[in-house]
Structure 1
Amino acid sequence: MISELLVPDNMTGDETNSGNPYGTLDSNPYSTSVEVFADESVLKEDWQPEQLPEREPELEEIRNALAPATRGVNAHNLFLYGKTGQGKTVAIDHEIELLQEYADDSDDLNLSVIKTSANNQTTSYQLCAHLIKEIRGGTKKPSGIDQQSMFDLLYQEIGSLEDTVIIVIDEIDAIGSNDELLYELPRARKNGHIEDQWVSVIGISNNLQFRDNLSPKVKDSLYDSEIEFAPYNANQLTTILERRAERAFVDGVLDGEVIPLCSAFAAQDEGSARQAIRLLYKAGELALNRDDEAVDEQHVREARDILERKRIEEGMRSLTTQDQFALLSVVALEIDEETPARTRQVFQKYKSIVDRLDGNQLVERRVRDHLQSLGMQGFLLAETRNTGIQGGSHYRFELKTDLEATLDILGEDGRIDDVVEDLVDIASAKRLM
Structure 2
Amino acid sequence: MRWTNSFLYGKSGLSKTAATRYLLRTLERDATNVPELELTTIEVNCDGLNTSYQVAVKLVNELREPSRQISNTGYPQASVYEFLFDELDAYGGTVLIVLDEVDHIGDDSLLYKLSRARSNGDISEAKPGVIGISNDLDFRTQLSSKVQSSLCEKEVSFSVYDADELRLVLEQRERVAFQDDVLEDGVIAMFAAYGAKDSGDARKALDLLLEAGDVARESGSAVVTESHVQEARERVQTDQVVEGIQNYSQHGKLVLYALTRLHERGDTPVRTREVVETYRSVARSEGVSPVSERSVRDYLGELAQLGITGVTEHNRGKDGGKYNEHQLEQSVSAVRSGLSTLLESA
The TM-score by the shorter chain falls in which range? Answer: 0.7 to 0.9
1:287 aligned onto 2:216: yes
Distance between the aligned counterparts of 2:16 and 2:297, measured in 1? Answer: 33
Aligned to 2:8, which of 80, 87, 92? 80
8 Å contact from structure 1 (residues 410, 417) kept in 2 = no
Q: Cα gap change, 1:264/1:173 in structure 2, threshold over 3 Å: closer, same or farther? A: same
Aligned counterpart, 2:194:
265
Q: Which moved more, 1:261-270 or 1:161-170?
A: 261-270
Q: Deviations over 1:54-84 (max 9, x none)?
A: xxxxxxxxxxxxxxxxxx32x1111112122
8 Å contact from structure 1 (residues 79, 223) kept in 2 = no
Q: Which runs of 5+ in 1 are unaligned?
A: 1-71, 339-344, 382-397, 419-433
**TM-score of the two chains, using structure 2 as the length reference:** 0.80
**Pairwise CA distance, 1:360:** 2.6
Aligned to 2:64, which of 112, 136, 147? 136
* Identical aligned residues as a percent: 31
**TM-score of the two chains, using structure 1 as the length reference:** 0.65
8 Å contact from structure 2 (residues 5, 153) kept in 1 = yes
Query: Superposed, which structure 2 residues align to 1:164-179 within 5 Å?
Result: 164-175=94-105, 177-179=106-108
Aligned counterpart, 1:150:
80
Aligned counterpart, 2:231:
302
8 Å contact from structure 1 (residues 168, 202) kept in 2 = yes
Q: Cα gap change, 1:415/1:408 in structure 2, threshold over 3 Å: closer, same or farther? A: closer
Q: Which amino acid aligns with 1:208?
A: L
Q: Which amino acid aligns with 1:102?
A: D
Distance between the aligned counterparts of 2:294 and 2:140, measured in 1? Answer: 27
**Pairwise CA distance, 1:337:** 6.5
Q: Which runs of 5+ in 2 are unaligned?
A: 310-325
Q: Which amino acid aligns with 1:157?
A: E
Q: Which amino acid aligns with 1:93?
A: R
Q: Cα gap change, 1:166/1:301 in structure 2, threshold over 3 Å: closer, same or farther? A: same
Q: Which amino acid aligns with 2:92?
A: E
Q: Cα gap change, 1:232/1:336 in structure 2, threshold over 3 Å: closer, same or farther? A: farther
Aligned to 2:291, which of 357, 361, 373? 361
Asked which structure has the greater CA Rg, the reply is: 1
Aligned counterpart, 1:120:
48
Distance between the aligned counterparts of 1:349 and 1:213, measured in 2? Answer: 41
Query: Superposed, which structure 2 residues align to 1:379-394 within 5 Å?
Result: none
Distance between the aligned counterparts of 1:125 and 1:336, measured in 2? Answer: 51
8 Å contact from structure 1 (residues 83, 270) kept in 2 = no
8 Å contact from structure 1 (residues 327, 374) kept in 2 = no
Q: Deviations over 1:305-362 (max 9, x none)?
A: 22222233333333221232465689889x9669xxxxxx97x676444423234314
Count of residues in correspondence between the two structures? 321
Aligned to 2:182, which of 253, 272, 279? 253
Distance between the aligned counterparts of 2:125 and 2:112, measured in 1? Answer: 20
Q: Which amino acid aligns with 1:103?
A: A
**Pairwise CA distance, 1:373:** 9.9
Aligned counterpart, 1:202:
131
